[in-house]
Amino acid sequence: MDLTGTATTEDVKAVLAQTLGIEDRAADIDASTPLLGSLPELDSMAVLELVAALEQRFGITIDDEDVTAEVFETLGTLTAFVDGKLH
């Protein structure tokens, strides 16, 4: 996959869906979709798996202190966070 230095909602959604195994529901997820507390698949272990998958996919480093409820509030906040790490 070509990395252009920008994380799009679709890119982050693809990683999210694959990591959580919810590809069948990915079409229903958009930038305003609540994540933490709303997706039962996104438990504490899944957050760690998602962080690792995002780091690998985008070539970024996510520090422990970056993993906050605010970052994982919606797909949009997660995308903005990843995009910020790329710049």
Q: Is residue 1 part of a domain?
A: no
Q: Is residue 19 part of a domain?
A: yes
Q: Is residue 4 part of a domain?
A: no
Taking the C-alpha atoms of residue 64 and residue 18, their distance in angstroms, rounded to an integer, is 22
The total number of structural domains in the chain stands at 1
Instruction: List all residues 6 or more positions away from 2 whose beta carbon is below 8 Å from its beta carbon.
Output: none
Question: In this structure, what CATH number is given to the domain that contains residue 68?
Answer: 1.10.1200.10
Q: Is residue 60 part of a domain?
A: yes
- Torsion sign across C-alpha atoms 13, 15, 17, 23: positive
Query: Which alpha helices (DSSP H) does the chain contain, by range?
Result: 9-20, 44-58, 75-86
Domain that holds residue 32: 9-86
Q: Is residue 58 part of a domain?
A: yes
CB atoms within 10 A of CB 69: 10
pLDDT digits (tens, 9 = 90+) for 21-80: 999 999 999 999 999 999 999 999 999 999 999 999 999 999 999 999 999 999 999 999
Q: Is residue 48 part of a domain?
A: yes
Instruction: List all residues 6 or more positions away from 76 whose beta carbon is below 8 Å from its beta carbon.
Output: 9, 31, 32
Instruction: State if pTM tops 0.75.
Output: yes
Q: Is residue 49 part of a domain?
A: yes
Q: Is residue 3 part of a domain?
A: no
Identify which has the larger pLDDT, 1 or 79: 79
pLDDT of residue 2: 42
Identify which has the larger pLDDT, 62 or 4: 62
Specify the amino acid at residue 81: F
